Structure 1
């Protein structure tokens, strides 16, 4: 392994513009993976999350920095020295850890610890003062590069001038949450950023102009925040809608839906649980009111365990309305109450009334009513204090009067508010995420997602938020004020109750009961103490299609939409509906529309066409020695075939590919999910090399194998030195194999005489794979064949059939807790197992598993395939042993079933022991049978 602390040697003079980039020759993927995961685990402590946690797709800043430096630093003849300089500039070398350590007492031992343990004791590089962290490295960096820099902006200026003649510009036409533009600007590069989505552009603008603001601008933002909070608080207080007669002020309001039971005619409140606070043992209890055929709702605190358990049952269970009246239980499916139907032509619908433009609450005859059932009050004595005292109370007549007052205010002002842009008047367009709002609630305009109380609160906030920096605050407040905010009553919150934000995931989730914050809570959430990292570079942010580029850049780094990406073009309309009228400068000229029809989404022809146009435009707006890096994640071989064609169509070739594990592994690993991102390094295809398919297959096979061997071999080597843990799952290694295939494929302009650029743009017939699809399928097979399960040797693996490999590989994956059916489908395809269902014990989408030996019994024998295999014979032997058949009789059966038994006896022992290891926890009886059989075969052999 290279000594990354060795003193680098100065590079020899050579025209910088002709040098390959460092990232095309070397990188530090394992260390960057570990650092990226540490940043992810910081959650709200991540630098840009404060701007809007509702945007989930941001790549870690440490990854963006690694890409930018890797693309701009030159590769020399001394790869070890190149890597040493890169690691010093990334602050991931041993010396840097002594400066990153949180406690000085750990400084001496830090470099002796495994990488993961080091990280637990250290700050992230961006949390440490630049001069303290990087001051000691500049002499060595300058000696190697021939520069005279003492900070990143100086370094970017100097190496950019050497390579391109000026300070480099980094572009990103899918800027999303702004990670790439922000990190480029922080390093000292000029920036061009664009996105079709105005919310993405606003977040990127915020990264550059709020996080990156100087002290004077930050003070102005803080002053504006205070002014909005004070002005709105005065208005709401003057309305008298949040204080009770004792001077207490409402912190939150708890609402639920209510509907008429078709069996009894009673109005029944709906909630999956009536627990309000686990810590305070606070619950809502339904009390029958026979005179009005409805339920009163009492609020109790400090109840017993039995009462808590009863409240937790709720009145909605497994999609049914469930309640007890006069000791009789009534159950009705919610879909029946809604009147859901499906017509023969596939059309679906229900009896819910579609709300209209000026509706803001249900009408009396609507199926679902909305009911206030509890208020959390802040005591008068603790108002304005840092630690507030609160209590939960049932709704009184006075509270209902205040609710009626709120509704009267909205009724009087809604039309005007909508005309002035203070409340949305934008329709909810149908879509994958948005259609459910109408189907499940009848909502048709975006303001229907907000209670009357929050329309009263948010309209003055919008009126006062005419300063650009406050638009991001306003979106933060929208994210916590909708009817889509769940009541979080779980334990460990110190008696508090959390009212979660709308986008706790990437969906618009309708709720049966929900929490609505009062004005003080809403305003407090907008007073954000943003991180501070002043920038001093040129930065352009535009709302534009990815192919409508206005500026050139030397380096394009993009994290594009994937074939099954998050529907940001739909869900961000939640914000756009509020912001689109009268936005302040510099947002005034932006297009405040999601432009769904123009979004690159889906897959196949539309996906390929949009991506080709985008990357062709980027290639046209970069010099011949420019570079692109594409961050891409997908497990579908078909999508990778699309990516190969996109690169051809755009006139690009892949020169390098690295795999970085960007996601935290604790829960994701249990499901066998992809952990990270492939970095595809691209240059313009300036040549016209040709290849034949047969030759290409051999080159591809070697390259895929090399890629996977590099990753797994490096893992073992580093693990052996105690430096870093294995961060990659089989799904990750498989995906890295796809990337290696792209590196081979895109190097050729013609394959079997076919012009691949023209082929990439040719329309496809349904189901047609073409030459690229066939080659990618071959890459999948090669990748999976290389993934020998732990516990088997490569020699044994090579002698097994495809169905055997499938069964034994999936058995290994099952030990990680993987249950996804699509994982079985992918590996069945890779190992060419046509009827893998015969080997499955369960085929539920999220609870799939293989058959056990006992479940196979005497079935699935045959002359070919799995039925005639060594592994099937061993499974039959384990079944017989579990039936308490004599072990010698079982051994005799095994000899008869396995052709050439004595020549394959070592393989038999290996398979038996492997099955015993993998079934140890899941099927102990099978594991015990395996131990007995292995011992008997071993003794037979020795005898």
Structure 2
């Protein structure tokens, strides 16, 4: 039998090189919560990947590395290959900029490059027996993300020219992806059907490109819903009249006397019964009495107490005087009337037993030039019977890491909404259905086929279009619930609402803000407006499909390009959290999507999260996660298109430092699953796709990055090697990879995890690494060895420093910034080739009275000049740089100082890495922070030096 020829799969750019600095800079910029046209405008999802990183990863995953022709012996030399890589880098640098998200010129260039690589691959395999089946040079393979979540990856795959498939177990994720990748291409180029748009005179419909017509209809029917809702429930949100009498006590109100102001928010405080028998009052619980901390517009409330009851008669708004101390903190609460302190555990029990009530705190109204704050006695809230919403009368999960309200007697989702909020939500819910009927009739009148086939059944006519409008309206309403519940607080710094999901949890909130659906901010229509801007930018370039599938058993990946972002062990309870939205989405949409929304709650038993409360114990949960991730990864390894690597994102939420080794049970479990599935890790790239608030300052090893793993299926003929052979190869490969990482200024906080990549690349290419006793080495043991090599790398790097710096390093390792004995310092100095007096002369230590200590960087003199210093060890240079960077000079000041220390940049940066690693291993989080921050800014610091600026080509402004 003739041997079937192997498929020739050129190495992709992502397996060789990436312009990390530019990608990470774009990710950082995109992190701004007000970034326009972002997928978050459609709906909330937790841990959605940064678009810049996703776009760069996909492009580099699809484009051939120029070096592949050299490997094939085509005469392409190393220099030419490198020049080609730089050209591809320039495309990526443009591609990742947020302002180029819908720049057709930039996107067309990227698509052309992707298609060029695909045709090259087809040409290489034109004689393969499956050439017609697998290698159509005019059509790219389809794309699939089996853990689609918030849809960032499928959306960008579609934007880059691929047919995109998104699947997820969670129906909320399925809906988000339908709205982003499936619906827009179905109705691309269609003009709007609403009567208002039809009445406008147009020469042609060319302005309705992409999903612009669809967006216009969402705007129209969203506005209609707002107007109809105001007719029905507008009286529940009265304006507040400013009287002459009120203005007498408040000079700032004189300009509004006789006017009615629109209310932005009604502020409330929950109360709990005081456990002190001599008091018994219902104590108001406030995290702060401040309403506004804006400079020049400070406002707070003062409680006027009726001591006979006791109770608060009203909260009076003041702009001057002392501000009362808050009555709640992390430890518990204080009774405003008698001062009794209520510990957190007792507070929970009292809340469950006697219930929580709410009292008016203040009103925030819209003024001519900002907010107007009014005292609580002006509250006019109609007495509303709380409507019964069966879907919302569902209990929250029992995991208190993510859900705090049940601990305080609020067990169901409906409990965290006020009667007025539930009334508004049910009113808008009914209007979603009415809006669909209007859209259906208007679509038929506009000439769309009346085929009666809905969207869920694959329709493309009037019924499917009306269903689509309904889905967008329902997603807006669902997103609005994030701002329409009693766990929304008032941000007294920015003077706006702080939404419930500031993080991936539902925490308890004591004083809360109730918004006005018809007000100027956090209103129903403000959500519609933000969605419209996104809808106009959605890709209609290629078809997309979103469906509900379990990643452990799905078969959609067959012969498709794959990039995915799986769940992270037990970090986020996606299903439990998304039930908050699902109870409403099911209410809004069950009548048009009965299959997608068939389950009463989001599926949980099959969700790949290591949640111990769902599986009985931590061990059972880990076993479930491991087995499930093994199955999911195995499906990918078996089904993925062999011409392309698979890219998998993994972000760290928490890690632990034990015995000098950085480890994470989730990371180890995940890596074990990837390798056991048959994947070999070909590369890893750390990207700044996470929130930077999770920093070493929080005394954790939390990452500011995701690690993107680049994987290919391991060959069936992979070798088995011994531990000794593995270590030998690790010592050869890892230092070279670390040199490249530190040269690219990877953040030190990321370096330990990032170094796992090249280490695991060595480990995973073998079918097994055998220990001395013949057993297979585990991922955990391999990680221990990789960590040791990381320590050794930095220890050896320290040998190249000057003698004074070597002394400081060793002294810091033993004593930190504390004093030590002179005799020990003298012996150490001699061993390092210097003297205590010499190091003292350098200005980095204090020595006297038989004691020696290192100066902290904050103690270094402000007037230091490297030009006038005759003895400047690298240690001193680094800490002066940190002083400037930390104390107001920032990147510009650090750049100026660095430019005056010619030729020392590399050694300074190496020392910063070494010191961060040392502090991290010792658990000195606060000491580690400035080293991490300097290196994180290093690219910008070097770019700002006069030498770099002088070499930067000036842009011709006339070309823009």
Q: TM-score, normalised by structure 2?
A: 0.67
Aligned 1:393-542 pairs, distance under 5 A: 393-396=374-377, 399=379, 402-403=381-382, 405-406=383-384, 408=385, 410=386, 413-414=387-388, 417-418=389-390, 421=391, 424-439=392-407, 441-466=408-433, 467-490=470-493, 493=494, 497-521=495-519, 522-528=523-529, 529-531=532-534, 532-542=537-547
Change (3 A) 1:533 1:369: closer
Distance apart, 1:320 and its partner CA? 4.7
Change (3 A) 1:579 1:83: farther
Distance apart, 1:710 and its partner CA? 1.5
Counterpart Cα distance in 2 of 1:272 and 1:322: 11
Counterpart Cα distance in 2 of 1:509 and 1:630: 31
Aligned 1:264-663 pairs, distance under 5 A: 264-279=279-294, 280-301=297-318, 303-304=319-320, 307=321, 309-311=322-324, 313-316=325-328, 319-322=331-334, 330-335=339-344, 337-338=346-347, 350-353=349-352, 365-366=354-355, 368-378=356-366, 391-396=372-377, 399=379, 402-403=381-382, 405-406=383-384, 408=385, 410=386, 413-414=387-388, 417-418=389-390, 421=391, 424-439=392-407, 441-466=408-433, 467-490=470-493, 493=494, 497-521=495-519, 522-528=523-529, 529-531=532-534, 532-551=537-556, 552-581=558-587, 582-586=589-593, 588-590=595-597, 591=599, 593-602=601-610, 604-634=622-652, 636-639=662-665, 640-663=667-690
Counterpart Cα distance in 2 of 1:174 and 1:332: 47
Which has the higher mean CA deviation after the structures are superposed, 510-519 or 69-78?
69-78
Counterpart Cα distance in 2 of 1:489 and 1:537: 45
Q: Which runs of 5+ in 1 are unaligned?
A: 1-13, 101-118, 150-157, 341-349, 355-364, 380-386, 716-725, 760-769, 810-838, 840-849, 891-907, 925-943
Change (3 A) 1:486 1:785: farther
Counterpart Cα distance in 1 of 2:27 and 2:339: 52
Which has the higher mean CA deviation after the structures are superposed, 425-434 or 911-920?
911-920
In the alignment, which residue of structure 2 is the partner of 1:232? 229
In the alignment, which residue of structure 1 is the partner of 2:725? 695
1:38 aligns with 2:29: yes
Counterpart Cα distance in 2 of 1:755 and 1:219: 69
In the alignment, which residue of structure 1 is the partner of 2:906? none
In the alignment, which residue of structure 2 is the partner of 1:10? none
1:23 aligns with 2:14: yes
Distance apart, 1:626 and its partner CA? 4.3
1:252 aligns with 2:265: yes
1:126 aligns with 2:132: no
Distance apart, 1:535 and its partner CA? 1.4
> 2:18–2:89: 8 Å Cα contact kept in structure 1?
no
Counterpart Cα distance in 2 of 1:390 and 1:230: 25
Aligned residue pairs: how many?
A: 734
Counterpart Cα distance in 2 of 1:657 and 1:396: 60
Q: 1:198 aligns with which of 168, 171, 174?
A: 171
Distance apart, 1:806 and its partner CA? 8.7
Change (3 A) 1:458 1:135: closer
Counterpart Cα distance in 1 of 2:488 and 2:231: 25
> 2:402–2:504: 8 Å Cα contact kept in structure 1?
no
Distance apart, 1:572 and its partner CA? 1.8
Counterpart Cα distance in 2 of 1:506 and 1:704: 36
Counterpart Cα distance in 2 of 1:230 and 1:395: 29
Distance apart, 1:463 and its partner CA? 1.9
Change (3 A) 1:74 1:318: closer
Q: TM-score, normalised by structure 1?
A: 0.68
In the alignment, which residue of structure 2 is the partner of 1:66? 56
Distance apart, 1:225 and its partner CA? 1.2
Change (3 A) 1:570 1:605: same
1:55 aligns with 2:64: no
Q: Which runs of 5+ in 2 are unaligned?
A: 71-75, 123-130, 189-210, 242-258, 434-469, 611-620, 656-661, 854-870, 888-960
Q: 1:586-617 deviations in whole A, cap 9, x for unaligned?
A: 47424463333322223743332221111111
Counterpart Cα distance in 2 of 1:453 and 1:871: 77
Counterpart Cα distance in 1 of 2:375 and 2:786: 64
For the aligned residue pairs, the C-alpha RMSD in angstroms reads: 4.6
Change (3 A) 1:171 1:74: same
> 1:433–1:570: 8 Å Cα contact kept in structure 2?
no
In the alignment, which residue of structure 2 is the partner of 1:836? none
Counterpart Cα distance in 1 of 2:761 and 2:154: 26
> 2:264–2:515: 8 Å Cα contact kept in structure 1?
yes
In the alignment, which residue of structure 2 is the partner of 1:885? 849
Change (3 A) 1:137 1:456: closer
> 1:272–1:314: 8 Å Cα contact kept in structure 2?
yes
